[in-house]
Amino acid sequence: MKITKVEALPVTTPLQKPFVMPGTHITGIDSVVVKVHTDEGYVGFADSGDTSTWYRGETQESIIGMLCEHIAPRFLIGQDPRDIEKIVGWMDMFVRENNQAKATVDFALHDLKGKLLDVPVYQLLGGRCAEASVQGWVTSAGSPEQVVPEALTALEKGFCLIKLKTGHGSIDDDVATVKAVREAVGDDVRLTVDVNGFWNYDQALKTLRKLDPYHLECIEQPLPHWDIEGLARLRDKVGTPIFADESAQELHHLKEIIDRRAADGLFIKMQKAGGLLKAQRWLTMARLADMPVMSGCMIGSGLEASPSAHLMIANQWASQFTHENLGPLIIHGQWDTDAEGTPDDIARNVPVFSGGELYPNEGPGFGIELNEDFIARNITRDKTSRVVQ
Ligand SMILES: [Mg+2]
């Protein structure tokens, strides 16, 4: 079996309501949908999820360019799509960085292989350790008046953890929001804060000392991605456990974080790790270091949510922890998909979110049928799809 054609489509999915993070006001998800075709008629699908210049530094243009100019002609066309380890190895050897582009290829190959073998992707990743992955809710950054009601509703809907984003106003405003949410939800609710790397060391030290009384379960990425040494210094001085997200990308970053004792836990996204195959190595390192993991999403469709949904129930280490793979819910302004129905999405059959848990589709592959009408209506303005064959 050979890969005969690769398609890359830029899609913009509008959000029901804007999502606010430091310096970022997202109103639509700009992603790349990839289709990998074979000479036997099987097609693998993937969705890159939202692109972001500050999180991954990859855009729709960079992903489509890297895929269509380099990866597809050199490492995909004419190759057997079942040889995922070989293709991922080639991509890593000859393409530096660009993990979101590489992950999108890896996702499509896993979907294709699941379809060929007529099994769900989680069966390729070790089988089932859990029925569903337990989810926390992530609030958009905002004032106490905006965030407190959202947090209370999320708890009512079954989410077991609330993650707050900073960056609505000043750092003092962020502290006021944490205080208000803690007072509203009570002492027993699991509460975390994600700074996305937007504080400097001095701000982080002073602010974390103010936040220590609210016993956060963790503070995520308080310092810029490059400052692993700073995370280690900070960790020595504050009581709140520190999780690394933007700092923890490739395996050598994990090794440095572990060697320097720079974090209490790690945050993984499949796109950051470079796909499902590399994510499994990533989780093995976390397990070896006895570090808890949370996984999240780039914010994306039911197709974007699928690779992580499959791995989080198949990986024994990851399946023990709480995740936040909420893309379809954030896009469509929903709390679940079973009671509220399946929204109009890149995927026709969004995986089931129910009572704060996420169930992967039963396959084959990711078990996703593309919504071609939706994709055709939402091709990103002024951008064009490309085909390599
Ligand atoms: Mg984060």
* DSSP of 312-346: HHH-TTGGGS-BB--HHHHHHT-S-STTT-PPS-S
- How far, in Å, is the centroid of ligand 1 from the Cα of 22? 11
What's the structural domain count of the chain? Answer: 2
Q: Is the pLDDT assigned to residue 20 strictly greater than 90? A: no
2, pLDDT greater than 80: yes
CA 269 to centroid of ligand 1, rounded, Å: 9
pLDDT band of 383, cuts 50, 70, 90: very high
DSSP single-letter state for residue 166: P
Does residue 282 fall inside a structural domain? yes
8 A C-beta contact, residue 109 and residue 91: no
- Distance from Cα 273 to the centre of ligand 1, integer Å: 14
Q: pLDDT averaged over the chain?
A: 95
Q: In angstroms, what is the span from residue 220 Cα to ligand 1's centroid? A: 6
CATH of the domain at 56: 3.30.390.10
Q: How far is the CA of 176 from the centre of ligand 1 (A)?
A: 20
When pLDDT is cut at 50, 70 and 90, the band that residue 19 belongs to is: confident
* Whether residue 172 has pLDDT greater than 80: yes
Ion ligand 1 neighbours (CB, 5 A) are 194, 220, 245
**Tokens read off for 207:** 């602010």
- 190 and 276 co-located in one domain: yes
Looking at the structure, tell me whether residues 87 and 199 fall in a common domain: no
pLDDT value for 52: 85
Task: Inform me whether the pLDDT recorded for 22 exceeds 80.
Answer: no
> What single DSSP character describes residue 239?
S
pLDDT (0 to 100) of residue 105? 98
Are the C-beta atoms of residues 340 and 334 closer than 8 Å to each other?
yes
Q: Tell me the residue type at 146.
A: Q
**Distance from Cα 241 to the centre of ligand 1, integer Å:** 14
29-52 residues labelled b (16+ CB within 10 A) or e (exposed): bbbbbbbbbbeeebbbbbbbbbbb
Rounded to the nearest angstrom, the distance between the alpha carbon of 341 and the centre of ligand 1 is: 28
Q: How far is the CA of 294 from the centre of ligand 1 (A)?
A: 9
> Do the beta carbons of residue 350 and residue 332 sit within 8 Å?
no
CA–centroid distance, 165 to ligand 1, in Å, is 9
Please, which pLDDT band fits residue 99 given cuts at 50, 70 and 90? very high
Question: Does residue 364 sit within a domain?
Answer: no
Q: How far apart are CA 239 and CA 243, in angstroms?
A: 13
Rounded distance from Cα 377 to ligand 1 centre (Å): 31
Looking at the structure, do residues 83 and 209 belong to the same domain, yes or no? no
| 138 and 252 co-located in one domain | yes
| 195 and 87 housed in the same domain | no
State in Å: Cα 68 to ligand 1 middle: 29
The answer to whether 222 and 245 are in contact (CB under 8 A) is no
Are residues 66 and 27 both part of a single domain?
yes
**Rounded Cα gap, residues 72 and 228, in angstroms:** 34
Residue 302 confidence class, pLDDT cut points 50, 70, 90: very high
How remote is the CA of residue 166 from the centroid of ligand 1, in Å? 11
Segments forming the whole domain that contains residue 129: 124-359
pLDDT exceeds 80 at position 254: yes
What band does 341 get if pLDDT is binned at 50, 70 and 90?
A: confident
Please give the model's pTM, rounded to 2 decimal places: 0.96
In this structure, are 26 and 139 located in the same domain? Answer: no
Residues 167 and 314 in one domain: yes
Residue 24 has pLDDT above 80, yes or no: no
Say if residue 294 is in the same domain as residue 164.
Answer: yes
Establish if 21 belongs to a structural domain: yes
What is the Å distance from ligand 1's center to 65 Cα? 27
Find all residues with CB under 8 Å of 208, minimum gap 6, and list them.
219, 222, 234, 238, 240
